[in-house]
Amino acid sequence: MLFSSNMNVKLVWNFSGEGSLKTAEHHLIHLKEYAESEKIEVVEFATQKQSEFTSTAFMIVAKDLVAPLRESLKPHQGFLVD
């Protein structure tokens, strides 16, 4: 299967515990600051509440940006998205 060069990747950071959503929201602030300072084009930023005790922060970027972002930001997961 061939992947289009314009594929995007969702980089995900997972947070657990009673304050997981607040932690994810705070982490998202830092992701936005980093993207702005490094002039990284981001398709989307968001948080998601998975359950009462689990939340995520994520950013969606072009696939070609993933390698350097993995090195500097250490996401917990990454998924190809359309």
Per-residue pLDDT of the chain (82 residues; tens, 9 = 90+): 444 567 999 999 999 999 999 999 999 999 999 999 999 999 999 999 999 999 999 999 999 999 999 999 999 999 999 7
Sign of CA dihedral 27, 32, 70, 61: positive
In this predicted structure, what is the pLDDT of residue 1? Answer: 41
Are 61 and 40 in contact by the 8 Å Cβ rule? The answer is yes
Answer whether 48's CB lies under 8 Å from 60's CB: no
pLDDT at residue number 7: 93
pLDDT value at position 82?
79
HSE, CB side, 13 Å, CA atoms: give it for residue 39.
Answer: 0
Residue 2 burial by CB count (10 A; 0-12/13-18/19+): exposed, middle or buried? exposed
Domain edges within the chain: 14-81
